[in-house]
Amino acid sequence: MAAALEAARPRPRVVGLFADNGPDWITVDLAAQRAGAVLVPLPAFFTPAQLLHAVASSGMDALFCPQPQLAGKLGFRPQGLIEDMPWHRRDAVAADAPQGASKITFTSGTTGTPKGVALSVDQQWAVARSIACALSALKLGRHLCLLPLSVLLENVAGVYAAQHAGAECCVPPLAEVGVNGAAAFDAATCLAAIARYEAQSVILLPQMLAALTAALECGLPAPRTLRFAAVGGARVSPELLLRARRAGLPVYEGYGLSECASVVALNQPGADCPGSVGRPLRHADVRIVEGEIHVRSAGTNPWVRTGDLGFLDDDGFLHIHGRRRNILITSFGRNVSPEWPESELLAGRSIAQAAVFGEGRAQLMAVVVPVHAGIPDIVLEREIQAANARLPDYARVSHWLRADGAFTVRNGHGTANGRPRHAAIWQTYGERLDALH
């Protein structure tokens, strides 16, 4: 495939990739690296407008996509097959990609407009080597991809780290592992896939961890081959981590960001501190400046201001409070990161997502999404009170309402990694919350 890309005239400069998980996805990814083209993974959960923005802003001139109708809507013409993978071309205006860029990964952004982050080959593989080294004692021989490969976390920490470690990487279609879109997740299907593939490692988002834990607590068998499950993307309650471990999931929390090519810190067996996101990995330098986490990773000279608040403890473990821009100041002058009570709300069995508000109010309010529509309000109330019992009075949720639906990328209420978009959620539910308050 790399040879075909190099031989094509005009030679593709920026190659898009829109496809379900599978070996073909990884083939295109690695071939683009070898051919010296910039790869732009396109998430399947992006809206048509977001896809068009990613295509235009990257200067994409080639696209691998098994859906000719979609490719046509994005302005591409069919070119046949390369190694059984349909590809398409368009006349593109060259974008000014940073020198040395190998991949442009698009996040969903805080306003719904995708933000492109350019990464070099060295940046991506430095993270992969760092993760493989940190977990080498576990001798992980088989990784199962549960997240879309278009999500940098799975692409680098899953596929690349497994390749560097010489491990087998299983990449079935997402539906086969229980993932449908950016929000729907079937825990029973996922557990069955982990068992069928005899996976030794997986990567999870917090909502997936909560659903798997609840399924195991209801009697489904724990995966016997699983040795390491990483969870990241949003803050995780220590209570949920402990529940998951008691249920049979060897889960460890980590932290990262796209600007640093994914993982920055990770808990692991023998170096584990629940409530933290682990110690920084060897490729990353971390410092705290006025409460904000700054990171400098391999291949980059400047420090990246993450926008996340936290601290390093005396043992070198990194702790995350929340996002600087999300900080609430109550009418009593208390500063509260909403991610804190949100993570406690998600520690129970019945709440899948939560968004907490309370700027200038005496009490905090929340919008909660139940795990499924059949859960009655009385059960949600019970779990909210259980979460409040683990929080100080100023961080407790006094008023709440049930969401009309999940927080997703498509409705603008959530990001791809499961974080709520507070401004968009407030725009939808603010009047109702104020009425409750």
Query: What is the C-alpha separation between 305 and 434, in angstroms, rounded?
Result: 34
Looking at residue 298, its pLDDT comes to 65
Looking at residue 110, its pLDDT comes to 44
Listed residue (268, 291, 294, 264) closest to 280, CA to CA:
264
Pick the CATH number of 2-118 from 3.30.70.1280, 3.40.1360.10, 3.30.9.30, 3.40.50.980: 3.40.50.980
| Range list for CATH 3.40.50.980 in the chain | 2-118
Listed residue (321, 322, 393, 404) closest to 364, CA to CA:
393
Q: Does domain 327-436 have CATH number 3.30.300.30?
A: yes
Q: Does domain 122-325 have CATH number 3.40.50.12780?
A: yes
Sequence length of the chain is 437
103-107 vs 115-119, strand pairing mode: antiparallel
Q: What is the DSSP letter of 78?
A: E
- By the 8 A CB rule, do 429 and 401 touch? yes
Strands across the sheet with 318-323, in order? 284-289, 292-297, 304-312, 318-323
For residue 377, what is the enclosing H or E element? helix 377-389
Query: What is the C-alpha separation between 103 and 159, in angstroms, rounded?
Result: 15
For residue 333, give the 3-state DSSP assignment: coil
| Range list for CATH 3.30.300.30 in the chain | 327-436
- By the 8 A CB rule, do 185 and 179 touch? yes
Query: What is the C-alpha separation between 388 and 366, in angstroms, rounded?
Result: 12
Would you list the DSSP string of 145-181?
--S-TTSHIIIIIIIIHHHHTT-EEE---GGGGTEET
Per-residue model confidence as pLDDT tens for the chain (437 residues): 999 999 999 999 999 999 999 999 999 999 999 999 999 999 988 888 889 999 999 999 999 999 999 999 999 999 999 999 999 999 877 666 677 899 999 976 544 577 899 999 999 999 999 999 999 999 999 999 999 999 999 999 999 999 999 999 999 999 999 998 656 789 999 999 999 999 999 999 988 998 999 999 999 999 999 999 999 987 888 889 999 999 999 999 999 999 999 999 999 999 999 999 999 999 999 999 999 999 998 666 789 999 999 999 999 999 998 888 888 888 777 888 899 899 999 988 899 999 999 988 888 999 999 988 899 999 999 999 999 999 988 899 999 999 999 998 888 898 877 789 999 999 999 999 989 87
Helix residue ranges per DSSP H, 23-119 = 23-35, 48-58, 68-73
Query: What is the C-alpha separation between 204 and 202, in angstroms, rounded?
Result: 7
- By the 8 A CB rule, do 399 and 437 touch? yes
Most distant pair of Cα atoms in the chain: their distance: 67
Q: Which residue has the tokens 């209570």?
A: 239
Task: Please provide residue 146's backbone torsions phi and psi, each rounded to the nearest 5 degrees.
Answer: -110, -15
| Range list for CATH 3.40.50.12780 in the chain | 122-325
Would you list the DSSP string of 178-195?
TEETTTEE-HHHHHHHHH
The model's pTM is 0.85
- By the 8 A CB rule, do 152 and 118 touch? no
**138: how many CB neighbours lie within 10 A of its CB?**
16
Looking at residue 181, its pLDDT comes to 67
For residue 328, give the 3-state DSSP assignment: strand
- By the 8 A CB rule, do 234 and 418 touch? yes
For residue 297, what is the enclosing H or E element? strand 292-297
